[in-house]
Amino acid sequence: MDYHALNQQLAQILSQFDLNQSLGGGSLAIYHQGNLVTALTHGSAQIDKATGAVTPWTSHTLSLNFSTGKGILVTLVHVLVSQGLLDYDTAIADYWPSFVQNGKQHITLRHVLSHEAKLFDITTITAHAKDMLDWAAMLVNVEQMGLSTPSLTSNTCDNDENDNWVAYSALVSGWVVGGLIERVTQQPLQQALEQYLLAPLGLVGQVYFGVPESVLPTVAAQMRQKEGANKPVLAEDTESTLAFYQSLPFYPDWQAIANTDKPLTTQAVNSLYFNPSCIDINDYKSALVPVGSRQFNYYHPLSLQAKIPAANGVASSVALVTIYAMLANQGEWQGQSVIQPQVFAELSRIHNKRIDKVMPAVMQWRLGYHRVFSLLHDTTTAFGHMGYNGSMAWCDPNRDLAVAFVHNYDVTMLGDIRQFILNETILNFFDSN
């Protein structure tokens, strides 16, 4: 395969990802057939406010990846299942007795990983977003929390009137899974992560749930166009942005799917992959927006140092893609079995195909991973996890392919289409060669 041609194409795309933003950058890494074939970077990871000096991105730059880190967390779980420390169908309370409170006695790891546990409402266990900084207190809150049900008006797109609904546990799942890991390993989460997953893959020092203070200066900084903004500001598409979209070889396919000859905006393309009309704002806020979120900054040093496993995973693109390269090889890595074959069969199996009550799509949840979003290619066997900012990491065992993209642009996945452009471009290449 002509990987050089692929990398030229992807490098050009990365250079155009600035769109109408002057700040930020990112890194893209690809493994194919056990080899790192792409390690591209673009833009600024940090800018010194005093001197204006720019630190450029590298493929080993540490980056806050929000929920993309969930893929790392659940991969650790599958390693522990492989080693007999956990079982998908044993009640969590059997490992963690105080978890039994308020109707959770039958909740299993499988329920949590497939987002069918009815444990999605962060507002029931926080008085303020800053509560999330206290790991010990949040574990107690999770022990005491009860089950939640979606709003009665939730997801008009979903006609399933049964109780078998799916609701993405965007934040709560991190304390459930992280707390469970600490109990069965008898180790702090980071130590367990390093021993059971990172060390076998040679990735110690490249992945964190709770960044050490000494490492903070190496993490890609938040890049915001407007000083003091509390949340990403969606800028209007410029003519150059629209021209970039129109230059993509699959743009006519997008237009055909949208059934229009008019130029497609960022939001129009995004709506091809996500269906915003399926979001119930109450359920979305319950899962993702604790009180005080506008004042909570995940890039703040205290936030980066905290353990918030569902939301503040920090890793380099190369580390992320290496983890998924192991998964693309069905749990084998450099001659060692990291995840047992029977465990891999379970983690990669689709557990539900219903529209998620929190996310505006059929997520096709596996055990901790969701489907890869493509409109133009068969991704039946592909799985991974995206983050709030549109970062992503995924694999496809059938293609023996793994991909990771991290960045520090000031965007959200519901207002950005970078991951979709990359997915379609990469899949175009590998499916045509």
Is residue 411 within 8 Å of residue 389, measured between CB atoms?
yes
Q: How far is CA 237 from CA 20, 230, 242, in A?
A: 7, 21, 7
Specify the 3-state DSSP secondary structure of 422.
helix
**Which region among 41-50, 139-148, 161-170, 216-225 has the lowest average model confidence (pLDDT)?**
161-170
**For position 138, what pLDDT does the model report?**
98
CA separation for the pair 185, 194 (Å, rounded): 12
CA nearest to 174, candidates 276, 306, 345? 306
Question: What is the mean pLDDT of the segment spanning 205-210?
Answer: 98
**For position 34, what pLDDT does the model report?**
96
Element containing residue 8 per DSSP (H, E): helix 3-16
Kindly report, residue by residue over 23-37, the tens digit of the pLDDT: 899 999 999 999 999
**For position 227, what pLDDT does the model report?**
60
Mean pLDDT (the chain) is 93
For residue 179, pLDDT beyond 60: yes
Residue 156's pLDDT band (cuts 50, 70, 90)? low
| Tokens representing residue 19 in the block | 């769109």
Q: How far is CA 78 from CA 154, 174, 186, 201, 337, in A?
A: 32, 15, 17, 15, 12
**For position 148, what pLDDT does the model report?**
92
Is residue 311 within 8 Å of residue 173, measured between CB atoms?
no
CA 396 vs. chain centroid, Å, equals 16
In this prediction the pTM is 0.96
For 170-239, strand residue ranges (E) read: 207-208
CA nearest to 79, candidates 174, 226, 184? 184
CB atoms closer than 10 angstroms to residue 110: 16
Which residues make Cβ contacts (< 8 Å) with residue 243, sequence separation at least 6?
none
Residue range 3-236+266-431, CATH number:
3.40.710.10
* DSSP 8-class letter at 260: -
CA nearest to 374, candidates 257, 261, 279, 266? 257
For residue 193, pLDDT beyond 90: yes
**For position 281, what pLDDT does the model report?**
85
Q: Where are the domains of the chain?
A: 3-236+266-431
Kindly report, residue by residue over 267-302, the tens digit of the pLDDT: 999 999 998 777 788 888 999 999 998 889 999 999
**For position 230, what pLDDT does the model report?**
61
Burial 17-46 (b: 16+ CB within 10 A, else e): bbbebebbbbbbbbbbeeeebbbbbbbbbb
Residue 76's pLDDT band (cuts 50, 70, 90)? very high
Dihedrals φ, ψ of 226, to 5°?
-115, 115
| Tokens representing residue 54 in the block | 């720019």
- DSSP for 57-84 reads --TT-BEE-TTHHHHHHHHHHHHHHHTT
Dihedrals φ, ψ of 179, to 5°?
-65, -40
**For position 159, what pLDDT does the model report?**
53
**Which region among 98-107, 227-236, 347-356, 376-385 has the lowest average model confidence (pLDDT)?**
227-236
| Tokens representing residue 356 in the block | 């998620």
**For position 221, what pLDDT does the model report?**
95
**Which region among 63-67, 324-328, 335-339, 353-357 has the lowest average model confidence (pLDDT)?**
353-357
